[in-house]
Amino acid sequence: MDEFVLLDGERVPAVDAMLLRATAYGHFTSMQVRGGMVDGLDLHFERLDCSTREVFGAALPADRVRGELRTALDQAETGDVSIRVNVFATDGIHLLTRVGPPVEPGSRPVRLLAVEHQRTVPHLKHTGSFDLVYYARQAQRSGYDDAVFHAAAGEISEASIWNICFARGTEIVFPAAPVLAGIRRQLLQRGLADYTTAPVRLTELDSYDAAYLTNSIDPALPVAAVTTPSGTTTYSPHPTSVQALTKAHAATPPQPI
């Protein structure tokens, strides 16, 4: 018999059961497209190729990905979209491209709850995201905006769908713990005049002037507070580091698809 999918007891003829099974093991990248341009497009291509080589033992040429992106824009009939490219394998390497409306950056500073956790194979942007959603939802149910992860020894790594960085004056500090090197994090590091990668410990949070979350949507979303088992560290607006991050973000122009 053929496989099929039921949704609340009703057969869904448009869903391919093989596709659902295949995409459970894979990796992806997400991007915001504006006017047919993407920040760090070369880094997205590099991420997809390197991850495909590691996960599936095959190359993923940039030209193939670019062709998929151009097809997505043609069908969307607009150059302003959100795109997620999933890579999975059955009898070969396949790309599943999801297109949606653009998402604008946030502006309200966020409150984070520190949680002891580390993503599996943290350097890959893989499809195993249950833990990220779980801890983010648990934090939100406790009155916070999101979770930020730390090791048993108290060293901070990343947040649920974000990299995090901290500021001392104009110096930006990125955690040295194992993390996914996000595209935006890499772009900021390209443009920053003064940054370092170093251990960031829960016990030292009050030694920083500010903290920021960063991903493909938000270049530098301010953190209002981080709550740890020993208390809460709050951060006030810090124009010096905002200016440094804004300048770094503008240093690399977006690239055309």
Q: Are residues 205 and 162 in the same domain?
A: yes
- How many angstroms from the chain centroid is the CA of residue 11? 34
Three-state SS for 163-184 is EEEEEECCEEEEECCCCCCCHH
Parent domain of 145: 110-251
Q: Which of 65, 100, 135 is the last residue of a domain?
A: 100
Domain containing 240 — which CATH number? 3.20.10.10
- Tens-digit pLDDT string for the chain (257 aa): 566 666 677 777 777 777 777 778 999 999 999 999 999 999 999 999 999 999 999 999 999 999 999 999 999 999 999 999 999 998 899 999 999 999 999 989 999 999 999 999 999 999 999 999 999 999 999 999 999 999 999 999 999 999 999 999 999 999 999 999 999 999 999 999 999 999 999 999 999 999 999 999 999 999 999 999 999 999 999 999 999 999 999 999 999 99
Q: Are residues 190 and 218 in the same domain?
A: yes
| Residue 100 bridge partners (DSSP) | 82
Domain presence at residue 256: no
Query: What are the two backbone dihedrals, phi and then psi, of residue 194, each rounded to the nearest 5 degrees?
Result: -145, 100
Confidence (pTM)? 0.94
Q: Which residues contact 239 (CB under 8 A, 6 or more apart)?
A: none
Domain presence at residue 225: yes
Q: Are residues 160 and 194 in the same domain?
A: yes
Q: Are residues 219 and 117 in the same domain?
A: yes
Three-state SS for 31-53 is EEEECCEECCHHHHHHHHHHHHH
Q: Which of 44, 72, 100 is the last residue of a domain?
A: 100
Q: Strands 37-38 and 27-34: what pairing?
A: antiparallel
- What total number of domains does the chain contain? 2
